[in-house]
Amino acid sequence: MEDSICPLDYRYGRSEMKTIFSEEGRTRYQMKVEAALARAHASLGTISMSDAEEIARVALTDVVDLDRIKEIEKETNHDLMAMVRAMTEQCRGDAGKYVHLGATSNDIIDTAAALQIRSALEIIQDDVDELLYTFATVAKRERDTLEMGRTHAQFAIPITFGFKVAGYIAEMIRHRERLSEAAPRACAGKMSGAVGTGAALGKNSGRIQILVMQDLGLTYEPAATQVVGRDRYTELICLLANIATSLERYGTEIRNLQRSEIAEASEPFDAKKQVGSSTMAQKRNPINSENVTGLARIVRGFVIPTFENQVLWHERDLSNSSAERFTIPHVFILLDEMLLKMNRVFLGLEIHADRMLQNIESARGLIMAEPIMMRLTEKGIGRQDAHEIVREASMAAASRGIDLREALLEMDCVRNAMTEEEITSVMNPANYTGSAGETVDKMVSAAEELLGRRILP
Kindly tell me the burial class for residue 387, based on how many C-beta atoms sit within 10 Å of its own C-beta (0-12, 13-18, 19 or more). Answer: middle
Spatial neighbors of 280 by CB under 8 A, at least 6 apart, are none
Spatial neighbors of 195 by CB under 8 A, at least 6 apart, are 225, 226, 315, 316
**Looking at the 3D structure of the chain, how many domains does it have?**
3
Question: In this structure, what are the phi and psi dihedrals at residue 148, rounded to the nearest 5 degrees?
Answer: -75, 130
* Same-domain pairing of 238 and 327: yes
Position 272 pLDDT exceeds 80: no
Position 220 pLDDT exceeds 80: yes
Q: How sure is the predictor about 281, in pLDDT bands with cuts at 50, 70 and 90?
A: low
* 150, part of any domain: no
- Asked if residue 292 lies in contact with residue 338, where contact means CB atoms within 8 angstroms, the answer is yes
Position 275 pLDDT exceeds 90: no
Position 234 pLDDT exceeds 70: yes
pLDDT attached to residue 186: 98
277 labelled catalytic: yes
* Same-domain pairing of 84 and 118: no
* 78, part of any domain: yes
- Own/partner long-range contacts of 367-370 (Cβ < 8 Å, ≥24 apart): 367/148, 367/149, 367/155, 367/156, 367/157, 367/158, 367/429, 368/157, 368/404, 368/426, 368/427, 368/428, 368/429, 368/432, 369/393, 369/394, 369/404, 370/157, 370/432
* 203, part of any domain: yes
DSSP state at residue 457: -
* 337, part of any domain: yes
* Same-domain pairing of 118 and 81: no
pLDDT attached to residue 206: 96
* Same-domain pairing of 71 and 115: no
Distance CA 248, CA 166 (A): 17
* 451, part of any domain: no
Mean pLDDT, the chain, rounded, equals: 94
CATH code: domain of residue 27: 1.10.275.10
At residue 346's C-alpha, the angle toward residues 334 and 179, to 5°, is 45
* Same-domain pairing of 202 and 57: no
Q: How sure is the predictor about 287, in pLDDT bands with cuts at 50, 70 and 90?
A: confident
With CA atoms as reference, report the closest residue to 249 among 193, 304, 168, 137: 168
Stretch 245-259: mean pLDDT = 97
Position 2 pLDDT exceeds 80: no
Stretch 338-359: mean pLDDT = 97
* 416, part of any domain: yes
Stretch 151-160: mean pLDDT = 96
The domain in which residue 88 lies consists of 20-98
* Same-domain pairing of 294 and 347: yes
pLDDT attached to residue 285: 83
Stretch 165-185: mean pLDDT = 98
- Asked if residue 148 lies in contact with residue 363, where contact means CB atoms within 8 angstroms, the answer is yes
* Same-domain pairing of 251 and 349: yes
Stretch 9-17: mean pLDDT = 91
Stretch 46-58: mean pLDDT = 97
* Same-domain pairing of 43 and 25: yes
Stretch 136-161: mean pLDDT = 97
Q: How sure is the predictor about 434, in pLDDT bands with cuts at 50, 70 and 90?
A: very high
* Same-domain pairing of 76 and 204: no
Question: From the candidates 277, 319, 362, 445, which is the catalytic residue?
Answer: 277
* Same-domain pairing of 177 and 80: no
What is the tens place of the pLDDT at every residue in 81-114? Answer: 999 999 999 999 999 999 999 999 999 999 999 9
Distance of CA 338 to the CA centre of its chain: 8
Distance CA 386, CA 369 (A): 10
Position 184 pLDDT exceeds 60: yes
Position 278 pLDDT exceeds 70: no
pLDDT attached to residue 4: 83
Stretch 350-377: mean pLDDT = 95
Q: Is 351 helix (H, G, I), strand (E, B) or coil?
A: strand
CATH code: domain of residue 260: 1.20.200.10
Question: From the candidates 15, 152, 278, 314, which is the catalytic residue?
Answer: 152
* 454, part of any domain: no
* 221, part of any domain: yes
* Same-domain pairing of 370 and 402: yes
* Same-domain pairing of 34 and 130: no
Position 60 pLDDT exceeds 90: no
pLDDT attached to residue 219: 98
